[in-house]
């Protein structure tokens, strides 16, 4: 039960990090038109031009659609530079999102092991170790 509570807390930490990154550093794009409707229907981006690609030859959309998208990109180099410069307010949301994700996998795996789902718990633990190792390698290389 203790590991389940830690997994839930880790999920909230990850969610808080992702939301704060989106709020502080996110970029919002608004688009509308007939191309957007075709993009929504096919889950592929046309790119703003009026020429439909080969994948859109059978897509029919009459009218206009609108799309609002919020995007953010944070590199490991930015995180490492911010940590070296002591700009913790700038890098803390990214650190919260990354460590919350790894901790959610780890504590979720431990909770699953103790609740009897041995295979699922083992897979989650392996994923958590792999994610932690990958993050550490990326941080060193940045």
Query: Which letter does DSSP use for residue 26 in this model?
Result: -
Strand partners, 128: none
Report d(CA 90, CA 52) in Å as an integer. 41
Query: What is the pLDDT at residue 31?
Result: 77
Going residue by residue through the chain, which has 142 residues, state the pLDDT in tens, using 9 for 90 and above: 899 999 999 999 999 999 999 888 878 887 777 677 667 666 666 555 445 555 555 556 566 777 777 788 888 989 999 999 999 888 999 999 999 999 999 999 999 999 999 999 999 999 999 999 999 999 898 8
Query: What is the pLDDT at residue 135?
Result: 92
Query: What is the pLDDT at residue 136?
Result: 92
Query: What is the pLDDT at residue 58?
Result: 56
Report d(CA 46, CA 128) in Å as an integer. 36
Among residues 92, 86, 116, which one has the least CA distance to residue 17? 92
């Amino acid at each position: 039960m203790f590991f389940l509570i830690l997994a839930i807390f880790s999920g909230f930490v990850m969610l808080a990090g992702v939301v704060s990154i989106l709020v502080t550093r996110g970029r919002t794009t608004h688009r509308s038109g007939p191309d957007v409707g075709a993009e929504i229907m096919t889950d592929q981006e046309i790119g703003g031009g009026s020429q439909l690609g080969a994948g859109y030859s059978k897509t029919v959309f009459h009218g206009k659609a609108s799309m609002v998208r919020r995007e953010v990109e944070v590199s490991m180099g930015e995180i490492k530079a911010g940590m070296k410069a002591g700009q913790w307010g700038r890098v803390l949301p990214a650190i919260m999102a990354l460590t919350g994700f790894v901790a959610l996998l780890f504590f979720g795996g431990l909770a699953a092991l103790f609740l009897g789902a041995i295979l699922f718990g083992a897979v989650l633990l392996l994923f958590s170790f792999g994610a932690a190792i990958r993050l550490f390698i990326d941080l060193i290389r940045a």
